[in-house]
Amino acid sequence: MESFTHLRKGTTPRRVHADLDGLKDDELGRGGFTGRTANLYRRHDPTEFRAAGPLQPTDVLASELKPSDATDATGCPLLLFSNPDCRVSLSRRPEAMPFHVRYVDGDLLCFVHQGAGRLETEFGPLPYRTGDWIYLPKGCTWRQLPEKGPLSAWLMVEAADEFRVPPPGPLGRHWPFDPSQIVIPEPAPIDDDGRDEYLVRLMHRPVNGVETTTLRYAHNPIDVEGWRGDNYAFTFNIADYNVITSDSLHLPPTVHLFMQATGVYVCNFLPKPAETVPGTERTPWYHRNVDYDEIAFFHGGSLYGIPMPPGLISHAPQGVHHGAPEKARERARRKFDEYDSVDWQVIAIDTRQRLTPSPAVLAHDLGQH
Ligand SMILES: [Fe+2]
């Protein structure tokens, strides 16, 4: 709900997210970063706590996780986090699927962290490469054929309904995600190759404890001669994302919103010029995003010279403080004149409902809290 008040009490800098003079900048905000907000100027780093109980930040490295599809062509991605609105999984498939697959519970949005290859989809072949988002409509039949190589890693976000572009707001068609940059497949039916049957694996939430169902066809299911409409698979590379910036204010994450489904918001934090007005904080402020759980997936890059570990998956439950450590903030202030850009590549998934980390995530938590 909008309000008409924005009060100022006690010691506060004149500008927001600037000129902190030793105070710690902490935001208590509603609706992600778009609702009513209080900026709290604290004496101490609010992330300096030790947690006990289930609502704890978790940090895992994708390279330490072992989806069954990493070693077995008939295997599956590994579930990382879930709630009623979405499931987030990791795939590390190095070999072609010996089956086709169909996610029947909702749209699928996959981020290609490592590797390249090709998808056979009902809409036609769709090449993919590192940095691509792959969008696959609910119920679409497809098959992954990775190129030969040691590395293959996808972060997969399965919604309970449709991924859509966000409302354009005042940016209109200048929204950072320009849909005219997407790659759309051309229909290309595939001839049968003489085998007895073609398997289509339906992926779904557990039904009587079982998460897959297999359909057997006597023909190749990629047999579409032509298609028309506005419900189709595509890819979009993050290199084509137009990052919005400000010289005097580190903008909130919501500015970088890419696509959204009910209760699920996907953002791209990508290389950009650094803020230039002296005194401006270049590091995202501390917060406890009270209405959203957050997953940050570190694709690569660095924060003013501090490398960000590629493949780190970080989960912050709603209501629990997080943010870059104080020493990284001090360094960014100290090196203000040495850097004129930030080259981070981080994918964020924010969810309205609380996420439950899977046993695999909990088993590999780096235990940083
Ligand atoms: Fe956050």
Cα 126 to ligand 1 centroid, rounded to whole Å:
33
Dist. CA 238–CA 241, nearest whole Å: 5
Cα 95 to ligand 1 centroid, rounded to whole Å:
35
Q: Kindly report the pTM of this predicted structure.
A: 0.96
C-beta separation of 66 from 117 below 8 A: no
Phi, then psi, of 89 in degrees rounded to 5: -130, 165
2, pLDDT greater than 90: no
Dist. CA 260–CA 297, nearest whole Å: 17
Dist. CA 289–CA 254, nearest whole Å: 12
**HEC assignment per residue over 140-188:** CEEEEEECCCCCCEEEEEEECCCCECCCCHHHHHHCCCCHHHCECCCCC
Dist. CA 265–CA 295, nearest whole Å: 10
Q: Which residues surround ligand 1, an ion (CB under 5 A)?
A: 294
Cα 322 to ligand 1 centroid, rounded to whole Å:
6
Nearest one of 279, 234, 240, 265 to 353, comparing CA atoms: 265
Q: Residue 360 in 3-state DSSP? A: helix
Angle at CA of residue 335, ends 13 and 16, nearest 5° = 20
Cα 111 to ligand 1 centroid, rounded to whole Å:
19
Question: What pLDDT, on the 0 to 100 scale, is given for residue 306?
Answer: 84
Phi, then psi, of 173 in degrees rounded to 5: -75, 5
pLDDT tens sequence across 299-316: 999 888 888 899 999 999
Q: Residue 234 in 3-state DSSP? A: strand
Tokens of 365: 């938590």
13, pLDDT greater than 70: yes
pLDDT tens sequence across 145-197: 999 887 999 999 999 999 999 988 889 889 899 999 999 999 999 999 999 99
Cα 25 to ligand 1 centroid, rounded to whole Å:
13
